[in-house]
Amino acid sequence: MTLPKNARALSLILALPVLAQPALASDAASLLKDGKFILDFRYRLEDVDQAGLAQDAHAQTARARTGFQTGKINGFSLLAEAETIAHVSSAFNDGLNGKTRRPLVADPEGMELNRLQVDYTGIAKTAITLGRQRLNLDNQRFIGAVGFRQNEQTLDALKISTQAINKLDLTYAYVAQVNRVFGHKSPQGEFEGDSHLLNAGLTLSPAAKITGYAYLLDLEEQPLLSTATYGGRVAGKYTLDKVTLTYAADYARQSDYQTNPRNLSLDYLGLELTATYGGLSFGGGYESLEGDGVRGFATPLATLHRFQGYADVFLTTPANGINDAYGRVGYETKLAAGPITGLSAALWYHDFEAERIDRSFGSEIDVEAAVKLGPKVTVSAKYADYNGDGAFPDRQKFWLAFDYSY
């Protein structure tokens, strides 16, 4: 029997008090005494200049997350977290305010329940989480919480993670609803369905972790994004004298799933290599998402901002696919004295082209820097300059952010 709209996600949330009742009745005082408060604050300025739009975007937004995670009783604990996003200035298109003459900055105002979950760790080397939660798998290319945006992506899900078998990390999640960065007021803010996520990683040594995954997405509101993705990943690091080499290689095949009307058979390939000496690092990679001329390889639950340039031009894979050849140089150091405890900076270059046909999609340069002021405060800045070609207009983006986490 198929449950009605919202019922599957709601049933996960409503089940939380029932599961938590044995713990709460057992010793409420210990739950509070051994618990911890959650406070996460971010203020951010984001400016966007995009060709083809009459006005620039000038966004100033503030996000606060507050909550509490209880201590454990009989292996049970409860986490509840609220999230509030406010506009300090609103000269931008947030996806809901109708300011379509300005570029999109996908940080709409709102207040919502960000996380509400019961955790159970009473089984050795196993954790079970039920409720609204964040989930990041591997490098977040397929499943991620989109931590860059003010409203992160969460899942109404049942997740089971275990390390009961030596060297094997196994995660399974049943997902009833995806709560997206656009907020619950947006028509694109929620994806309901019956999705299954499976990720199994075998660590052979520090030099080799082999991961296999199957992501079966049944998304009722977006049947064209309902896909079955099966793939594998190998990643690790070698240390040669004072140089550390870090590598990763991914391959996946995607097909249509459930109510998707398209007949899909698309490939994904990701390769990356980085050399680190002291705080200095040099790296590069190649990523290819196939397109068939109508649809491209889709990753709707990914942390997309981490891939294919910070300008976020290719959040949806073009119909002819995309190849991204990129390079990076970075520096990171920790400081022992004074108010500044850490510094980091990086420079990226991306060259984009279609995967299916001979066509350039332009190039992009990204620059980022961050300063850590103790363990709780970070000040960061980023700049992205995309030089487009054809259907993808030029755009420049600048961010300045202040983060505090307690």
* Integer Cα distance of 351 and 363 in angstroms: 5
What is the enclosing helix (H) or strand (E) of 18?
A: helix 7-26
* Integer Cα distance of 383 and 347 in angstroms: 10
Please state the length of the chain. Answer: 406
Contact between 287 and 275 (Cβ < 8 Å): no
- pLDDT tens figures, 62-115: 999 999 999 999 999 999 999 999 999 989 999 999 999 999 999 999 999 999
Q: Which two tokens stand for residue 399?
A: 């961010």
Q: Which two tokens stand for residue 315?
A: 């959040």
Helix segments in 27-162, DSSP class H: 28-33
Write the single-letter amino acid at 347. Answer: L
* Integer Cα distance of 198 and 176 in angstroms: 15
Q: Which two tokens stand for residue 132?
A: 């609204």
CATH number of 7-405: 2.40.160.10
Q: Which two tokens stand for residue 111?
A: 């207040």
Compute the radius of gyration of the chain from its Cα atoms: 22
Write the single-letter amino acid at 40. Answer: D
* Integer Cα distance of 182 and 64 in angstroms: 16
Model-level pTM greater than 0.75? yes
In 3-state terms, what secondary structure has residue 54?
coil
Q: For each of the chain's 406 residues, which pLDDT tens digit applies?
A: 444 555 565 566 556 555 555 545 556 777 888 899 999 999 999 999 999 999 999 999 999 999 999 999 999 999 999 999 999 998 999 999 999 999 999 999 999 999 999 999 999 999 999 999 999 999 999 999 999 999 999 999 999 999 999 999 999 999 999 999 999 899 999 999 999 999 999 999 999 999 999 999 999 999 999 999 999 999 999 999 899 999 999 999 999 999 999 999 999 999 999 999 999 999 999 999 999 999 999 999 999 999 999 999 999 999 999 999 999 999 999 998 789 999 999 999 999 999 999 999 999 999 999 999 999 999 999 999 999 987 899 999 999 999 999 9
Rounded-to-5 percentages of helix, strand, coil across the chain? 10, 55, 35
| DSSP states of 217-277 | --BTT-GGG-EEEEEEEEEEEEEETTEEEEEEEEEEEEEE-TT--S--EEEEEEEEEEEEE
- pLDDT tens figures, 300-312: 999 999 999 999 9
Contact between 194 and 8 (Cβ < 8 Å): yes
